[in-house]
Amino acid sequence: MDELNKRIRMSKTSKDQRKKSVKIRRREQVRWLSTITSILVLVIAVWLFWESSSENHDLSLIGQGTNVVVQIHDPG
């Protein structure tokens, strides 16, 4: 009888350990997913900022348009 009770207890503890390991694995997966997502968002934000700033500082576009007459009023 004692051996049967020991086996039942051992089976219960092994199931509990499996559940804990599943919970731990899921927690680790969520950590990895959040880390990868954060890095991806950061990389995309930096890339978008870089692209917008390079477009603003690109002066080669000025000479490719049509000629326009601009009148400057200097009151002083």
14-52 pLDDT, tens digit per residue, is 666 667 788 888 999 999 999 999 999 999 999 999 888
Distance, CA of 39 to chain centre: 4
SS3 1: coil
pLDDT of residue 31: 96
Domain layout of the chain by residue ranges: 2-54
CA distance 30 to 24: 10
Residue 8 structure tokens = 């039942």
SS3 16: helix
